[in-house]
């Protein structure tokens, strides 16, 4: 057996594998012998089918299978042993393969087009300093958050006249059609600013006419108001009449123990001062998460900007087209290629960092990734036995492996572990600033 790699460029090559009869014949003869012992063919006793008869019936298919399997293993072994940074999958020369004479040939040659990333290294000590942000919690933001909490837990009261933010209930009909909805709901906070005057000041029992498509900025809100699907709502046209039957307004909850318990949990705080401190802490934690997300983004962006990796672009576009089997056109692939290449470069960098730094993924890391996702489903609520239940659910999810769950969560856990390593090993400068300034920075970075 002979395997050679002819380099076309620094990122592309032709991998050639040649097999002679001595390479594959022992395995083919072994497989024919196994068939003769297990085959059940009419006219022969079990285990007594002559090898020559098996060879006549199945020899060609056995030969093809063994040669293809041997070539495939040889290609994979060559890539691993030579530590080639292969991207995409080797593309076989199908035209040459189709011309093989399996009945008469004794020597077989297979060629593969391969794409590799150029050589590169990741020296974290040479990566420029990256800024992270310590966002100050202002009194204005605390007041804003408390006002939101008081409104969220306020009780609905029925009022006589519509003001901004009220909910209007009534009958919505159209004279020119049979449309008649007796439980229409208009959330005035979702109404377009230029249409708000239509509803302001309306009283119970009053009616108003308007163009149905002029009220909301999207069909989702119109569907909610009319009790229709988004598709049905988008088809509504013309003038409609709303007759007001009920108006409700969310009141502002009092700053008392009932609100503290509703918002934060039973007896977590017992005074307004403690409540404000806890709200400030929650805001600060939210800011910290936003800052961490931005830092993750900045670390990856800085690495991509400072680690040069050349890719076999034309090979990859061809490979993407082939593996998607007509799902995407050449134009589609061209349009999305830059984003794909960026992600591929980042994957190569992560793998290089993990390899050089001996970063290993444990099963518990994968379990924790599943648990973190499940905890989000419970919205931060906690009760006795919840942690144990989530742990059991996470392990069951991985064991069942539906929709390739193990691979999905493994990739996430690996990405997280490498991100944490990177943030701990690049130069990071902490800068204090207001949330308004942080938002400007984030907007510029994500743009």
Q: What is the pLDDT of residues 358-387, one digit of tens each?
A: 999 999 999 999 998 888 776 655 556 788
Confidence (pLDDT) at 265: 85
* Confidence (pLDDT) at 382: 55
Instruction: Judge contact between 371 and 391, C-beta under 8 A.
Output: yes
**Residue 229 CB: number of other CB atoms within 10 A?**
12
Task: Find out whether 170 and 184 touch, Cβ atoms under 8 Å.
Answer: yes
Where do the DSSP E strands lie in 332-380?
none
pLDDT of residue 234: 92
Instruction: Supply 262's token pair.
Output: 């509703």
Find the range with the poorest average confidence among 251-255, 286-290, 380-384, 396-400. 380-384
> What pLDDT does residue 379 have?
60
Same domain for 238 and 167: yes
Same domain? For 105 and 128 the reply is no
Q: Is the pLDDT of residue 233 over 60?
A: yes
Question: Residue 15 is part of a domain; what is its CATH number?
Answer: 3.30.70.1050
In a domain, 202, yes or no: yes
pLDDT tens track for 152-191? 899 889 999 999 999 999 999 998 888 899 999 999 999 9
The three-class DSSP label of residue 248 is: strand
Domain containing 317 equals 124-136+272-446
CB-side exposure of 116: number of CA atoms within 13 Å? 21
Q: Looking at residue 406, which CATH number applies to its domain?
A: 1.10.3120
DSSP one-letter code for 327: S
How far is Cα 428 from Cα 136, in angstroms, rounded to an integer? 19
In a domain, 30, yes or no: yes
pLDDT for the residue 191: 96
Q: What is the pLDDT of residue 88?
A: 94
Judged by DSSP in three states, 166 sits in: coil
CA dist., res. 369 & res. 394, Å (int): 9
pLDDT at 54 over 90: no
- The two three-digit tokens of residue 410, written as one number: 């493994």
**Residue 59: which pLDDT band, with cuts at 50, 70 and 90?**
confident
Of the residues 250, 284, 300, the one at which a domain ends: 250
- Cα end-to-end distance, the chain, whole Å: 54
- Residues with Cβ within 8 Å of residue 235, at least 6 apart in sequence: none
Cα dist from 346 to 122, 210, 308, 392, whole Å: 11, 53, 11, 33
Pair type for strands 428-433 and 130-135: parallel
Residues 402, 276: one domain? yes
**Looking at the 3D structure of the chain, how many domains does it have?**
3
Residue among 253, 252, 196, 186 nearest 223 (CA)? 186
Domain annotation covers residue 261 = no
Which CATH number do you get for residue 232?
3.10.50
- Residue 212 counted as domain residue: yes
281 and 423, same domain (yes or no): yes
Asked if residue 417 and residue 344 are part of one domain, the reply reads yes
Residue 105 has pLDDT above 90, yes or no: yes
Q: Which of 55-59, 77-81, 279-283, 360-364 has the lowest mean pLDDT?
A: 55-59
Q: Are residues 380 and 283 in the same domain?
A: yes
Distances (CA, A) of 295 to 6, 171, 245, 343, 422: 42, 51, 52, 17, 11
Q: What percent of the chain has pLDDT over 70?
A: 98
Q: Is residue 260 part of a domain?
A: no
**Per-residue pLDDT averaged across 81-89, rounded?**
94
Q: Are 267 and 280 in contact, with CB atoms under 8 Å apart?
A: no
pLDDT at 385: 76
117-132: pLDDT as tens digits:
999 999 999 999 999 9
Give the model's pLDDT for residue 178.
Answer: 83
Same-domain check for residues 162 and 83 = no
For the segment 336-354, the average pLDDT, to the nearest whole number, is: 96
Flag whether pLDDT at 86 surpasses 80.
yes
* 410 pLDDT higher than 90: yes
What is the overall mean pLDDT for the chain? 92
Claim to verify: residue 108 and residue 9 sit in the same structural domain: yes
Residue 123: per-residue pLDDT: 95
CA count, 13 A, side-chain hemisphere, 209: 7
Residues 78 and 192 in one domain: no
* Residue 286 sits in the same domain as residue 329: yes
Q: What is the C-alpha to C-alpha distance for residues 199 and 205, in angstroms, rounded to an integer?
A: 13
**How long, in residues, is the chain?**
447
In a domain, 255, yes or no: no
């Amino acid at each position: 057996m002979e395997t050679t790699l002819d380099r076309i460029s620094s990122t592309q090559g032709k991998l050639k594998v040649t097999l002679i009869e001595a390479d594959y014949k022992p395995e083919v003869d072994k497989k024919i012998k196994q068939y003769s012992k297990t085959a059940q063919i009419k006219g022969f006793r079990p285990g007594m089918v002559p090898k020559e008869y098996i060879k006549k019936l199945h020899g060609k298919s056995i030969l093809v299978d063994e040669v293809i399997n041997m070539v495939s293993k040889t290609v994979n072994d060559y890539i691993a042993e030579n530590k080639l940074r292969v991207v995409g999958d080797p593309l076989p020369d199908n035209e040459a393969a189709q011309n093989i004479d399996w009945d008469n040939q004794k020597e077989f040659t297979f060629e593969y087009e391969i794409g590799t990333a150029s050589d590169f290294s990741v020296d974290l000590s040479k990566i420029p300093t990256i800024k992270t942000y310590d966002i100050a919690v202002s009194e204005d933001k605390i007041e804003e958050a408390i006002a939101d909490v008081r409104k969220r837990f306020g009780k609905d009261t029925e009022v006589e006249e519509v003001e901004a933010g009220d909910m209007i209930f009534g009958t919505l009909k159209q004279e020119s059609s049979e449309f008649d909805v007796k439980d229409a709901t208009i959330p005035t906070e979702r109404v377009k600013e230029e249409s708000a005057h239509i509803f302001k000041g309306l009283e119970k029992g009053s009616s108003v006419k308007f163009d149905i498509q002029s009220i909301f900025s999207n069909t989702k809100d119109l569907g909610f108001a009319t009790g229709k699907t988004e598709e049905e709502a988008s088809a509504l046209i013309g003038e409609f009449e709303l007759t007001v039957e009920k108006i409700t307004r969310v009141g502002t909850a009092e700053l008392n123990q009932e609100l503290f318990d509703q918002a934060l949990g039973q007896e977590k705080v017992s005074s307004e001062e403690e409540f404000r401190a806890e709200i400030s802490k929650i805001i600060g934690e939210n800011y910290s998460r936003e800052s961490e997300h931005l830092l993750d983004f900045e670390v990856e962006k800085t690495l991509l900007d400072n680690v040069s990796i050349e890719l076999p672009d034309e090979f990859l576009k061809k490979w993407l087209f082939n593996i998607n089997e007509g799902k995407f056109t050449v134009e589609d692939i061209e349009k999305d290629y830059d984003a794909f290449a960026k992600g591929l470069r980042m994957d190569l960098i992560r793998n290089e960092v993990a390899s050089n730094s001996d970063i290993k993924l444990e099963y518990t890391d994968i379990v924790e990734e599943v648990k973190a996702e499940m905890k989000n489903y419970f919205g931060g609520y906690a009760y006795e036995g919840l942690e144990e239940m989530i742990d059991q659910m996470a392990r069951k999810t991985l064991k069942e492996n539906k929709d390739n769950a193990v691979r999905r969560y493994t990739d996430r856990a690996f990405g997280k572990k490498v991100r944490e390593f990177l943030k701990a090993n690049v130069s990071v400068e902490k800068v204090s600033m207001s949330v308004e300034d942080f938002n400007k920075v984030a907007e510029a970075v994500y743009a």
